[in-house]
Structure 1
Amino acid sequence: MTDLTPLTSLSSALADVVARAAPSLVSVHSHRLRASGFVWKPGLIVTADEALADDGDVEVKLPDGSTKPAKIAGRDHTTDIALLRVETDITPIALSSTVPALGSLAVVVAADRGAATAALGMVSLAGAPWRSLRGGEIDARVELDVRLRHSQQGGLALDTSGQPFGMAVLGPRRVLVIPTATIARVAVQLEARGRIARGYLGLGLQPVRLDDGVGAMVMNVDNAGPSAAAGIRQGDVIVAVNAEKLSGVRALARTLGPQSVGSTVDIAARRGGEPVSFKVTIAERPEA
């Protein structure tokens, strides 16, 4: 018998990694869109929110070829995580909290029309926690040098020992991984409440340039919101929050994460050129 070469050994190990993960992967079909998902808990499937249609029925195709209707249990566009409820007895896959090292190999296992697919790549970036452009808190910045089809979004990213370290999604010009720590944190809230609580000031803001920096002009005020209760009016210009100069409207919006709900902030503003200040207790953003 011919001795195994390093390449054949690697090939065999990778095939084993894929084979062990594949039974927990499913295809997700929603209004002309196809994606992948994985069984997170019995009857609960995690998939990529970006790859899930905004309306219409959702179906899940299982590894045995059968198709099941799915209901959206919750979705969070800021972290690109959606949770589906499906009647299935597929065994959930255990997620690992490990963040892979830069330069290590990674396998993305996904599903297309119920059939397992796989792609091999490399961890091209492994960095610190970050905020998505939509304000979601992601526990680690992980990027993969791998080419994925749209239908592979929502697939699992595995290290070479077969440990799932996150969900693969298509970002701008790169493949991103939503780490398992983020999935665990967000999916639990989606299971319980159907959404993630976000902070709400009840203001419509427009950036403006000032002689000494930037500000945010109040264009409209929700009369039932916390800012109206604090006395903020249309036309006021916000210049600082908690004594920190405002760096922009987007930066202000990014501070309104789940942890902000219920906290009180000091807002410095100008009204007719004169300084005014307010204490605003951040509310939870309404669903609508």
Structure 2
Amino acid sequence: MTDSTPLSSLSSALADVVARAAPSVVSVHSHRSRSTGFVWKSGLIVTADEVLADEGEVEIGLADGSRVAATIAGRDHTTDIALLRADIALAPIKLDASVPPLGALSIVVATHREAPSAALGMVSASGKGWRSLRGGDIDARIELDVRLGGSQQGGLALDASGSAFGMAVLGPRRVLVIPAATIERVAPQLEARGRIARGYLGLGLQPVQLDDGVGAMVMNVDKAGPSAAAGIRQGDVIVAVNDQKLSGVRALSRTLGPASVGAIVDVAVRRGGEPVSFKVTVGERPEA
């Protein structure tokens, strides 16, 4: 019997971390697509929305090779989080909202070709929250120096102690982690409502350059929307919201997150060159 070496001890520790997490990880099969998911709560599985097909049946693949039918409980394209319901008796994974430091080891436990898989890498970026290209608020910027295949998206990202700090997904030219804090914020809303509420003004806007800054010209107005009810018309130019000068149409859209629904905002516009102010109660964006 050979003595243990630091390398063999590390190998055993990593294998133990994987073995503890693997029972909560499943494969996800949707129309012409394969990905990974993990049990978030009893009967509820979190997976990567980007890989989930938009139509067709969804099945969960278990470690014994069997499959179980699943339904989509909710999905949020902006944070890449989808929630599935399935009649399975697997133990949920406990998520850890702490953000791993730069340079920390990370293990992604996922599935590949329906079999369990694991990949070892390093945290190559660890920073503050950011906004996705689709407008979702991600609580921390975590990138991994690790190679993953498409079917491993939705896998668990673990630190060296085995704590699950998020879900691994493929971003442009890098592996990103949707952190636990984002999952724990979004998944309960998907469970309860099937989607994430977004603020809605009911306006189609076009950026315009003004002598003293940037404005947003109202190109069309939803007659049943909150801005129409407040009195905003086509041709008005929005110059400020809540006394803050407008920096662009995209910046205005970014303020319309879930917390904005129901808020009353002061919208300053120019109508025919004259200043006019309106109080608009932010509505909830209708489902597409």
Q: What residue number does 1:262 align with?
A: 262
Partners of 1:27 and 1:12 lie apart in 2 by: 25
Q: Which runs of 5+ in 1 are unaligned?
A: none
Partners of 1:64 and 1:93 lie apart in 2 by: 19
Structure 1 stretch 106-115 or stretch 39-48: which is displaced more?
Answer: 106-115
Shift of 1:272: 2.1
Normalization by structure 2: what TM-score? 0.97
SS across alignment from 1:12: helix
Q: What residue number does 2:134 align with?
A: 134
Q: What residue number does 2:47 align with?
A: 47
Q: What residue number does 2:35 align with?
A: 35
Partners of 1:60 and 1:216 lie apart in 2 by: 46
Partners of 2:62 and 2:272 lie apart in 1 by: 62
* Equivalent runs, 1:21-170 vs 2, <5 Å: 21-170=21-170
SS across alignment from 1:215: strand
SS across alignment from 1:40: strand
Shift of 1:114: 2.7
Normalization by structure 1: what TM-score? 0.97
Identity, % of aligned positions: 78
Partners of 1:241 and 1:134 lie apart in 2 by: 22
Deviation string 1:174-227 (CA, Å, 9 cap, x unpaired) is 111111111111111111111111111011111122222211111111101000
Shift of 1:37: 0.3
SS across alignment from 1:259: helix
Q: Which runs of 5+ in 2 are unaligned?
A: none
Partners of 2:175 and 2:181 lie apart in 1 by: 18
Q: What residue number does 1:189 align with?
A: 189
SS across alignment from 2:265: strand
Query: Which letter does structure 2 place at the counterpart of 1:93?
Result: I
C-alpha contact 1:64 1:114 (8 A) present in aligned 2: no
Query: Which letter does structure 2 place at the counterpart of 1:221?
Result: V
Query: Which letter does structure 2 place at the counterpart of 1:181?
Result: A
Shift of 1:61: 0.7
Deviation string 1:38-59 (CA, Å, 9 cap, x unpaired) is 0111110000111111111111
Shift of 1:118: 0.9
**Number of equivalences:** 288
Deviation string 1:133-155 (CA, Å, 9 cap, x unpaired) is 22212111111111111111100
Structure 1 stretch 130-139 or stretch 16-25: which is displaced more?
Answer: 130-139
Q: In angstroms, what is the RMSD of aligned CA positions?
A: 1.1
Shift of 1:129: 1.9
Q: What residue number does 1:226 align with?
A: 226
Partners of 2:152 and 2:78 lie apart in 1 by: 20
